[in-house]
Structures are given as C-alpha cells and as structure tokens.
Amino acid sequence: MASEADVLHAINPLYSLSGLVVGMLVGFTGVGGGALMTPLLVLLFGIHPSAAVGTDLLYAGLTKISGSAVHGYNGAIDWKVVRRLALGSAPAATLTLIALSVLGQGSNVASHVITTTLGFALLMTAVTLLFRKWLIGHYGAMLERASERRIAAMTTGLGVILGVLVTLSSVGAGAIGVTALLMLYPKMPTVRLVGSDIAHAVPLTLIAGTGHWWIGSVNFPLLFSLLIGSIPGIMIGSHFAARVPDRVLRPLLAGTLALIGVRMAF
C-alpha cells in the first residue's frame, strides 16, 4: 500500500498548474475540459494520446457526477432525452473500446486514430463556438417541424456520434452535444438541455474512462495531479465568469482550438 510520501511524490506541480488554468477556462467559457486538457497533455507534456484521453475521461466522469446531481435536484434534466442519447452512445462507446483494445492502446495505429479524431473534434468544437447562434436558428427552425419519432431517432444517432467521439478523443459531450440538442429541441429550455447533456455525459465518460482503464490507458498520478488544480480552477472561473466579455473570450478560444485541431488532425 502506497504511503503518504509516495502519494505526495507522485503529484506533479506542472500538471496541477495546468489543471488550474484549464479549470478556470472551463469556468469562464463552459467548454468541456477535454477540448482544452487533452491536447495540452499531448502537445505540451508529451503524454501518449491514449493515456491523455483515458485519464481525462475518468476525470470528467468523476467531476460531472456532482453537476448532474445538482441539475437533477433542480429538476433540470429531461430523462427521456438522456435515455435516447444513451441508447446510441453506450453501445458505440463499448464497440469503440473493443476496437482500441484490438489495435493495442499503445500502438502507432491507435495513436494516429486518436490524434486525428481529437483534431477533428476540436475543429467541430471551434465551429460550434463561433456559429452556435446561426446553427441553432437555422437548423432549429427546420427540425421544429419534424415528427417526434424522427427527433428520437436523430437523438439516438447523435448519441452514437458522441459515443465514438468521446471515447476516442474525450471531446464532444460539451459544446458539440449541447449545440446539437438545442437544434433538435428548440422549444426546450436551455438549462434543461444543458442538464440533460451533463447527465448523459456521466455514464458515457465513466463507461469510456473505465474501458480505457481496463486496457491500461489511465495514468492515476496524472489524474490526481489534475484534480488538485482543476477543482479550485473551475470554482474561480465560475465565480468570475460574468466579468469576462464573452464576445472576446469565445472567438479567441475557438481560434485556439481550431489551430490545435488542424495541428493534430493533419
């Protein structure tokens, strides 16, 4: 059993500082930590892509539990939407994990697949940040006339896409998922869709994170170091979020994610 000294020795201050910065940005912008932390770990610290994704997924699953509980307590979760999403995402995540296991989590092929998917996921996140209002206004008006059965099928299809994206890149359950839900359910209150997205992200990230742990791609000292910084970072960012001009920060963040996405995808 590891002693207290061993645990403290395993903490990396640079990872904790990165967790603090990313946590603050998440609090400021609402963009999921995976879109910020995973590329930082890969590009700046040289963490293997599968370890970066697996660690971030388990971290996301653990931290989203409290957010989901708060939204559930406030009645801001539509469980019908959650079930529709999970119907697609759970099997998609499981099949993706099996594919990664067959490829070998440390192989060059798996690394290429993960980095390429991560790059495209970041580009998609940047697009949703920049054009969210237009996407919701344009496609939301079109889908408003769709039948309930078609909306249900499209929601499950969205779950499939998110299941693959999140398992391979740890990105997608935040900005991409919420934007898509706002297009599919334009009449539903935004807070209820955000709550539903967070509630769905809990089982998805826990399934994907546990699967990465099972195939050996979770770095627990890294996970612990990130949590030490990110938890206070999110609290600080959330506290000062109203004072940061969204019209400046959001395009800047989208541009940064686009540049990183191009770097990783190509």
Residue 2, pLDDT score? 46
Q: What angle do CA 64, 168, 100 make, to 5 degrees?
A: 125
Residue 107, pLDDT score? 77
156 pLDDT higher than 90 = yes
Pair 78, 155: CB distance under 8 Å:
no
Pair 78, 193: CB distance under 8 Å:
yes
- The confidence band for 265, taking pLDDT boundaries of 50, 70 and 90, is confident
Residues 44-60 as b or e (16 or more Cβ within 10 Å = b): eeebbbbbbbbbbbbbb
As a whole number, mean pLDDT of residues 239-263 equals 73
- The confidence band for 73, taking pLDDT boundaries of 50, 70 and 90, is confident
Q: What angle do CA 195, 200, 201 make, to 5 degrees?
A: 95
Using N-to-C axis directions, what is the helix angle for 148-169 and 175-184, rounded to 10°? 180
As a whole number, mean pLDDT of residues 68-74 equals 81
3-state secondary structure of 237: helix
As a whole number, mean pLDDT of residues 149-170 equals 95
Pair 178, 185: CB distance under 8 Å:
no
Q: Which of 204, 202, 205, 157 is nearest to 181 (CA)?
A: 157
Percentage of the chain exceeding pLDDT 70: 89
* pTM score, whole prediction: 0.84
The winner for highest mean pLDDT among 1-10, 75-84, 130-139 is 75-84
Residue 10, pLDDT score? 62
Pair 253, 31: CB distance under 8 Å:
yes
Q: What is the C-alpha to C-alpha distance for residues 196 and 76, in angstroms, rounded to an integer?
A: 7
Instruction: Output the 3-class SS for 138-188.
Output: HHHHHHCCCCHHHHHHHHHHHHHHHHHHHHHHCCCCCHHHHHHHHHHCCCC
Q: Which two tokens stand for residue 210?
A: 């546990």
Using N-to-C axis directions, what is the helix angle for 33-43 and 220-240, rounded to 10°? 130
Mean pLDDT, the chain, whole residue set:
84
Residue 243, pLDDT score? 67
36 pLDDT higher than 50 = yes
- The confidence band for 242, taking pLDDT boundaries of 50, 70 and 90, is low
Q: What is the C-alpha to C-alpha distance for residues 239 and 218, in angstroms, rounded to an integer?
A: 31
3-state secondary structure of 224: helix
Residues 180-221 have pLDDT tens digits of: 998 999 888 888 888 898 889 889 999 999 999 998 888 888
Residues 38-57 have pLDDT tens digits of: 888 888 888 989 899 999 89
Domains in the chain: boundaries? 10-265
35 pLDDT higher than 60 = yes
Pair 93, 211: CB distance under 8 Å:
yes
